[in-house]
A = this chain, B = another copy of it.
Amino acid sequence: MKNLKGACIFGQSGGPTSVINSSAAGVFIEALKQQNITAVYGAEHGIVGILGEKFYDMSKEDPKELELLKYTPSSALGSARYKLKDVAEDDTDYKRILEVFKKYDIRYFFYNGGNDSMDTCNKVSKYLQSVGYDCNVIGVPKTIDNDLYGTDHCPGYASAAKYIATTIMECNLDAKVYNFGLVCIIEVMGRNAGWLAASAELANYKGLGADLIYLPEVPFDVDKFVSDVAAVCERNDNKCIAVVSEGLKTADGKYVGDFKAGANDLFGHATLGGLAGILGGIIKERLNVKVRPIELSLMQRCGAHLASRVDVEEAFNAGAFAVKSAVAGETDKMVVFERDYNAKEYSCKPVLMPLELAANTERTVPLEWITEGGKGISEEFVKYALPLIQGDAKAPLEDGLPRFAQLKKIYAQK
């Protein structure tokens, strides 16, 4: 625990979310208040910007724009998918980071991301310790996948879940409108964990959900899927809504979505498409029903107009808490959420966990929450997720459209 004085740098990493910038706002607004923080930098494209010495001087930004960051989706500083090598294998990047940190007197490092990003954060933290460079390092969690270890939930998840549940309710009303059938196959993200697919159950709870929900936690059997859909069609005038996680795998571990596109369009070219299209093709062929495949694609992770207020506030607080903790002397930790399940009302607070516990681990949906032989979700999940999606928090309208933050992005010079 060392109280340090110097500059801080914050970086965003991995896939964007609706609220990753809320955490950025929390970090920046809190850091700009702190006496012991002499400069506040935002790294362009995460660790890549640190290596390239490209970062913005956040004190030059209009405070109103920093406030608008709370409601602006995607990573305003730019994100990265850069993996640091093990230091034993190649320490080039680490030496460069140290050089940059020394040059700018960086004594606080905040990194915002998911599993891979926490791995980066952990590696940097351990390296700086090993060379005796004083720098307080705190990871700030972020992922729509909700798969980080050690936290009740992850900032970004709730807003994606709210987007998915709301959209499924609306699509349910649309898809069942005719006096003829339609099988709707809705694909959501989640490569290894089914938290996002499970959020369809929130729509079910409101009576306008999916008939079938498939998570990657359970091996996917195509024949069983066809017979599940057939059974729903049989009892429901050929109307069926199935939600599938992009990460569905067959029992032998193959992703169902990994297909090789052939030369099959009007022009003799390969077409691109996802799991929903593949499963849609199978259903159409085997059951001879009308099918519409729907991918919620980028929208589920950047649909900030549907962000959860709880999520926006928690993401902001996670950022501010990271700064306060680091200034108080904490280092080598990640912010996690601890929920009090005994409290009458939803109650959740940020606490710290050793950074190495978060790196590269994955938290999947408890198998006991997956019901009906792998095609349903239990009420326990609804109890878990419903408090997270409460309230609205979105950018003000200007010309009828969201007014997102506009940063000047003035590079720091030294």
Q: A residues within 8 Å of B by Cβ?
A: 16, 45, 48, 72-76, 78-81, 162, 165-167, 169-171, 173-175, 177-179, 184, 202-203, 205-206, 208, 222, 254, 256, 258-267, 269-273, 276-278, 280-282, 284-285, 291-295, 297-299, 301-306, 308, 386, 389-392, 397-402, 404
Contact = CB atoms under 8 A, between A and B. Distances in A.
Given A208-B404, A404-B208, A174 B302 contact: yes
B292 A401 contact: no
Nearest to A178: B79
Contacts of A76: 173
Contacts of A48: 179
Contacts of A304: 170
A266 B271 contact: no
A266 B248 CA distance: 13
Nearest to A184: B298
Q: Most chain-B CB neighbours within 10 Å: which of A282, A308, A391?
A: A282
A258 B265 CA distance: 8
A400 B308 contact: yes
Contacts of A301: 174
Given A78-B179, A302-B173, A399-B386, A272 B266 contact: no
Given A74-B173, A308-B400, A389-B401, A178 B45 contact: yes
Contact of A277 (B16, B78, B166, B272): B272
Given A202-B401, A302-B173, A178 B81 contact: yes
Contacts of A78: 177-179
